[in-house]
Amino acid sequence: MTIRHALPKDFKGFYDINLQADIYHRLAVPSKFREPTDVDYELFMFNRFSDFIADKDCVFLVAVEEDKVLGYLIALVKQIPEYPILIPRRYVMIDNMGVDENARQQGIGTLLLQKIEEEAIEVGYAAIELNVYNFNEGAKRLYIKNGFEPMVQRMRKEIR
């Protein structure tokens, strides 16, 4: 297993894992997620993938075995400017992470999280943050196992 920065050749694996996640999210929260209606969804995802690779403030990692992408992690560099009540800081925000459903429970998510932590330490970032949906129990267990703690609770009320 190799954890490395994503390359253009990794798009197909990234796309396939995203499709798995899309289905999972649609089934869990159909009021928020829908099936793509645009026939150019793959092109949309390719453009998004390419933008992440090109972004200097993005770290796009993939877990690869024998040239097959088994997982990915996309993290963005964030900056909190100086405000009267906030301490300025730079941190890494995990934007998206996925592991192929056939490769879960093999430590791939942990390896990706360890790699982003190593890279964040190298450049002196203060923290790593992420958002996770409440229904995603497997992801929450992974993050807690890797030292993440709840920081904010986002709440919602459906009114329609």
Domain ranges of the chain: 2-145
Tokens of 2: 């190799």
pLDDT in tens, 87-114: 899 999 999 999 999 999 999 999 999 9
Instruction: Round to whole Å and give the CA distance between 94 and 38.
Output: 27
The CATH H-level superfamily of 2-145 is Gcn5-related N-acetyltransferase (GNAT) (3.40.630.30)
Instruction: Round to whole Å and give the CA distance between 35 and 38.
Output: 9
* DSSP-based three-state secondary structure for 22: helix
What's the pTM value of the predicted model, to 2 decimals? 0.91
pLDDT in tens, 7-19: 999 999 999 999 9
